[in-house]
Each structure stands twice: as structure tokens, then as C-alpha cells.
């Protein structure tokens, strides 16, 4: 019985708990519905308070740019090139005679400049001095021999007259003795024979003197030829003696040194390399197209080579060292065309520099080996428009301001020089060119800019 009562109590507890859970769920649902209804009512109330914005006129977008009025002008062309400075005169010094070096200039070191006329080195001269003395003695001996032969020649001519007179007297004596013996029977045959013998002796003496006189010119000529050979040997010996000393042919900068005191040198071996820095040159290759169009060759009516470039006008060129172009600047002049390179299609011109002093800003002097930029003045371009380089695209277009609209215009760029491009077709005088850098602009877009004051080309030309 008690067990049944317990079961009934448990069942009543479960039923009461279930009834309590249903009431909580219904209460929560009603609260959520009330909150949602209140939120919707508040949203509708706030929406009823909002008013739509008033319509306004939006102006079309405008591109703010800078413009430049262009006018035709005459522009001198400047051809830019690069080259390495080299000394105009550079020689390799080799000994002309062999021997031991006994003297060197005290400043004979690489990089030093030896004044013109200074002794660079001396080779031992003792052997060459002895050779000169020997050759001089031979010359003196032959000169004495020639004088002696000439004196003997004069004496022999006097003896010839005496021998001739003696012969003639002996002949007369012989004829008289023969005539006396044959016609008057005076004398004897022995006397006639003795007269004949005397005549023959006198005749032989005359012949000997005459033959000796005939040989004297040949002997003198032989001695004179020997004297000429001796004089040549003396000149050669003196020349070799002079060649033992080498002097600076100009204010010579030592580029290379391969000689020391006590060293034995031989002819043909390079011992010194000398450079003359008083006059320098640059070999500047330029494009053959620029050379054909802009190089200032002399006019055709002036004489020139038949199958080579005409002479260049000696115009002044600006030269700058690439390492310090602001402080190292010099001037030179066009000198000649050196060569045409068929591989690179370039024309190499020589620019000569004679003033190599330091620049106005106390920079370095111009020296051999410096790599420099060169501005070469060329011919002038007539009736072209000057534009900033970036305003003309690579395909030949630029942008202009047509009223307040942007327009794309095809132009012909004649030349680009530094940061400027020169155009000869596609633009009109006074036209406004957009100089602001634009990236893919839309043609026809509205522009905003300030109109330049110097838009009138005629007034600008008069100024």
C-alpha cells in the first residue's frame, strides 16, 4: 500500500514539473513577440521621420594640367658622344747603340714630366770616343797623303820640263856628232855611240817622269775616295757617339720605364715610353645618321678629297669628364674624320684639345685616359617646335589642348636632344601642348589649365 502511495507522489511531481516548463516557454515566446513588434513599430516611426535628399547638379570631371604654347624656331643641333683622351704625340724610345747605361735623369720615373731638351740617359761613351779618334786620325792621314801627292805632282811637272830639255839637248848632241862624223870626218864612232847612249838615257828619264805624271791624278783620286770613306766612317762614329745620349724631344711624361744605371742595353729594345700632353685628342664615334644630317662639313665648293669625307668646320666643342662633369670642363675643336666603322655604322671624329688647364672650379686637369663626354655643335634645324621629351610618345603622338578638351595628335619628331624633342610636323604655331605627364588619358576629357601669356608667336619672335 505504501509503495502505491510513493508512485503516485512521484507521478504528481513529474506532472507539476512539466506544467511549469510549458508556462515558462509560453511566457518567453510572448516576450519575444512583444519585443519584435516594438522594434518594427520603432523602425516604421523613424522611417516616417526621414526625408529624401534634394537633387543637385554634379559638374563633369576636369583634368588639371599644364600647357605650353609652341612656336616654330631655329635650333642648333648638339651631337653628343663619348671618347677616351689620348696624347697626340707618343713615342717609344729605343737605344740606337749598345752599351752600359752610366747615367739616368734624376726624375726619370713613371708619371714625371721631363722638360724638353733634358738628358734622359747616357750610355758608356769610351768605346765610341776611341772609334771617333781612330776615324779622325784616318781622315787626317789621308788628307796629308792627298796634299803630299799634289805636291809631288807639281814637282814632277817641273822635273818633266827639265827631263824634256835634257832629252832635247842629248838629241841635238847625238845628231851633231853623227853629222860631224859622216860629213866632216870629225870625231869617232865611240863619240857617236856615247852621244846616243846619253840621248837614250835622257829619253828614258823623260818617259819615266811623264808616266809618273800621268798616274798622279789617279793616285790623287784614289786617295780622295779613301778620304771620303774615312770621312763617312768618322761621321758614323760621331753619330754613334751622339746616340749614346738621349734627350727629351718635348715636355715628356714618362709612361713606361725599363732602364736602370748599370744595365746593358741593345738597339731595338724599348726602354722608355714618352707622351706629349701639350696637345690631346679624343676619338668620338657618332651614329652615321647623325653624321650625315648634322656634322658641319665644309661646303661642296671648297676643295676636298675625292673618296673621303670633306674637312670639318673647326667648331668649338665642350668636353666634360664623366666622373665630375660640373667641375671638369674644357673646350676643343673638331679636327678631322678618322674612320668609318662598317660593323657599328659609326663615324669616328677627332676632337683636338690644346687648352688642358684646370677648369674654373679648380677641378682636375685633363689627362690621357680620362673618359669624357663631348658636345659637338652641328647644323641648325629650322622651323621646329621645342617640346619636353616626355610629351612625345615612342609611337609619335602628343596631347594638345583643343579649347577645353584633350586631343591626341600625331607628330613627327625630328630629333631628341637631352630632355627636349623637336617636332616639325603635326603642330601649328601658338598651339597649346599638354606638358603634364599623363598615363593613358581619355581623349576628349575636359581640361583645366592656365593659358600662357606668350601665346602669340609673332610677338615672341619680335622680342
DSSP classification of residue 389? G
DSSP classification of residue 451? P
Shared-domain flag, residues 321 and 280: yes
Shared-domain flag, residues 237 and 163: yes
Mean pLDDT for 387-413 is: 90
- Residue 305's pLDDT band, with cuts at 50, 70 and 90, is low
Mean pLDDT for 414-438 is: 89
Reported as a single tens digit per residue, the pLDDT across 4-20 is 555 555 556 555 666 66
Shared-domain flag, residues 199 and 256: no
Greatest alpha-carbon pair distance for the chain in Å reads 241
DSSP assignments along 29-94, one per residue: HHHHHHHHHHHHHHHHHHHHH--PPPP-PPPPPEEE--EEE---EEEEEEEEEEEEEEEEEEEEE-
Locate the DSSP E strands across 109-258: 113-114, 119-123, 245-247, 252-257
What pLDDT score does 404 carry?
A: 87
Shared-domain flag, residues 419 and 345: no
Domain of 154 in residue numbering reads as: 127-242
Shared-domain flag, residues 388 and 353: no
Q: Is residue 236 part of a domain?
A: yes
Mean pLDDT for 344-349 is: 93
Q: Is residue 60 part of a domain?
A: no
Helix (H) or strand (E) holding 129: helix 126-179
Residue at which a domain ends, from 326, 356, 378: 378
Distance CA(121)–CA(156), nearest Å, equals 56
| Torsions phi, psi for 234 (to 5 deg) | -65, -40
Reported as a single tens digit per residue, the pLDDT across 192-211 is 677 767 777 777 777 776 76
Mapped onto helix, strand or coil, the DSSP state of residue 284 is: strand
Q: Is residue 84 part of a domain?
A: no
Q: Is residue 62 part of a domain?
A: no
Q: Is residue 88 part of a domain?
A: no
Give the CATH number for residue 212. 1.10.287.620
- Residue 24 pLDDT more than 80? no
Distance CA(192)–CA(248), nearest Å, equals 87
Distance CA(263)–CA(103), nearest Å, equals 10
Contacts of 168 (CB under 8 A, 6+ apart): none
Shared-domain flag, residues 281 and 367: yes
What pLDDT score does 213 carry?
A: 72
Distance CA(348)–CA(337), nearest Å, equals 6
Structural domains of the chain, count: 5
Compute the mean pLDDT over every residue in the chain, rounded to the nearest whole number: 83
What strands, in cross-sheet order, belong to the sheet with 397-402? 62-64, 446-448, 405-410, 397-402, 432-434, 67-69
Reported as a single tens digit per residue, the pLDDT across 54-63 is 666 667 778 8
What pLDDT score does 94 carry?
A: 94
Integer distance in angstroms from the first to the last C-alpha of the chain?
134
Shared-domain flag, residues 257 and 111: yes
Give the CATH number for residue 342. 2.40.30
* Percentage of the chain lying above the pLDDT 70 cut: 82
Q: Is residue 296 part of a domain?
A: yes
For residue 36, give the C-alpha cell: 519584435
Residue at which a domain ends, from 378, 403, 434: 378
- Residue 356's pLDDT band, with cuts at 50, 70 and 90, is low
Shared-domain flag, residues 199 and 293: no
Contact 293, 347 (CB under 8 A): no
Shared-domain flag, residues 138 and 232: yes
Mean pLDDT for 248-254 is: 93
Q: Is residue 82 part of a domain?
A: no
Q: Give the residue among 351, 353, 354, 317 at the shortest CA–CA distance from 337.
A: 351
Q: Is residue 85 part of a domain?
A: no
Helix (H) or strand (E) holding 241: helix 189-242
- Residue 1's pLDDT band, with cuts at 50, 70 and 90, is very low
Mean pLDDT for 157-174 is: 72
| Torsions phi, psi for 352 (to 5 deg) | -100, 135
- Residue 164 pLDDT more than 90? no
What pLDDT score does 303 carry?
A: 63
Shared-domain flag, residues 312 and 324: yes
Shared-domain flag, residues 135 and 231: yes
For residue 414, give the C-alpha cell: 625630328
Q: How many CA atoms lie within 13 A of 302 on its CB side?
A: 8
Shared-domain flag, residues 198 and 137: yes
| Torsions phi, psi for 226 (to 5 deg) | -60, -35
Residue at which a domain ends, from 378, 398, 429: 378
Helix (H) or strand (E) holding 318: strand 316-321
Distance CA(308)–CA(185), nearest Å, equals 107
Mean pLDDT for 154-172 is: 73
What pLDDT score does 38 carry?
A: 82
Burial class (CB in 10 A: 0-12, 13-18, 19+), 219: middle
Mean pLDDT for 241-264 is: 93
For residue 290, give the C-alpha cell: 647623325
Contact 126, 149 (CB under 8 A): no
What pLDDT score does 185 carry?
A: 65
Amino acid at each position: 500500500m505504501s509503495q502505491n502511495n510513493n508512485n503516485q507522489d512521484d507521478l504528481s511531481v513529474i506532472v507539476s514539473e512539466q506544467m511549469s516548463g510549458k508556462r515558462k516557454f509560453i511566457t518567453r515566446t510572448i516576450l519575444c513577440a512583444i519585443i519584435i513588434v516594438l522594434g518594427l513599430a520603432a523602425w516604421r516611426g523613424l522611417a516616417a521621420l526621414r526625408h529624401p535628399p534634394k537633387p543637385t547638379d554634379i559638374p563633369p570631371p576636369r583634368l588639371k594640367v599644364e600647357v605650353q604654347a609652341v612656336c616654330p624656331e631655329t635650333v642648333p643641333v648638339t651631337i653628343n658622344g663619348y671618347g677616351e683622351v689620348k696624347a697626340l704625340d707618343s713615342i717609344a724610345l729605343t737605344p740606337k747603340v749598345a752599351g752600359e747605361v752610366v747615367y739616368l735623369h734624376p726624375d726619370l720615373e713613371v708619371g714625371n714630366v721631363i722638360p724638353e731638351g733634358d738628358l734622359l740617359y747616357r750610355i758608356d761613351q769610351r768605346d765610341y770616343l776611341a772609334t771617333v779618334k781612330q776615324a779622325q786620325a784616318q781622315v787626317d792621314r789621308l788628307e796629308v797623303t792627298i796634299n803630299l801627292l799634289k805636291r809631288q805632282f807639281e814637282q814632277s811637272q817641273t822635273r818633266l820640263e827639265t827631263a824634256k830639255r835634257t832629252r832635247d839637248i842629248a838629241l841635238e848632241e847625238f845628231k851633231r856628232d853623227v853629222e860631224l862624223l859622216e860629213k866632216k870626218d870629225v870625231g869617232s864612232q865611240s863619240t857617236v855611240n856615247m852621244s846616243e847612249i846619253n840621248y837614250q838615257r835622257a829619253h828614258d828619264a823623260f818617259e819615266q817622269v811623264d808616266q809618273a805624271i800621268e798616274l798622279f791624278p789617279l793616285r790623287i783620286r784614289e786617295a780622295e775616295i779613301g778620304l771620303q770613306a774615312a770621312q763617312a766612317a768618322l761621321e758614323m762614329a760621331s753619330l754613334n757617339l751622339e746616340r749614346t745620349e738621349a734627350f727629351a724631344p718635348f715636355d715628356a711624361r714618362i709612361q713606361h720605364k725599363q732602364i736602370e744605371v748599370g744595365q746593358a742595353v741593345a738597339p731595338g729594345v724599348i726602354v722608355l715610353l714618352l707622351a706629349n700632353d701639350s696637345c690631346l685628342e679624343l676619338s668620338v664615334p657618332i651614329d652615321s645618321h647623325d653624321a650625315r644630317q648634322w656634322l658641319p662639313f665644309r661646303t661642296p665648293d671648297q676643295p676636298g678629297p675625292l673618296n673621303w669625307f670633306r674637312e670639318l668646320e673647326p667648331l668649338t666643342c665642350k668636353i666634360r669628364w664623366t666622373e665630375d662633369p660640373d667641375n671638369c670642363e674644357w673646350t676643343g675643336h673638331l679636327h678631322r674624320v678618322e674612320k668609318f666603322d662598317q660593323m657599328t655604322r659609326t663615324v669616328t671624329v677627332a676632337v683636338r684639345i690644346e687648352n688642358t688647364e684646370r677648369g674654373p672650379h679648380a677641378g682636375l686637369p685633363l689627362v690621357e685616359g680620362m673618359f669624357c663626354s663631348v658636345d659637338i655643335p652641328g647644323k641648325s634645324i629650322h622651323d621646329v617646335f621645342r617640346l619636353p621629351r616626355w610629351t612625345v610618345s615612342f609611337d609619335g603622338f602628343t596631347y594638345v589642348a583643343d579649347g577645353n578638351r584633350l586631343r591626341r595628335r600625331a607628330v613627327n619628331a625630328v630629333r631628341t636632344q637631352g630632355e627636349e624633342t623637336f617636332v616639325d610636323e603635326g603642330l601649328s604655331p601658338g598651339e597649346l601642348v599638354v606638358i603634364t605627364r599623363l598615363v593613358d588619358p581619355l581623349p576628349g576629357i575636359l581640361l583645366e589649365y592656365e593659358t600662357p601669356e606668350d601665346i602669340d608667336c609673332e610677338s615672341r619672335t619680335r622680342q
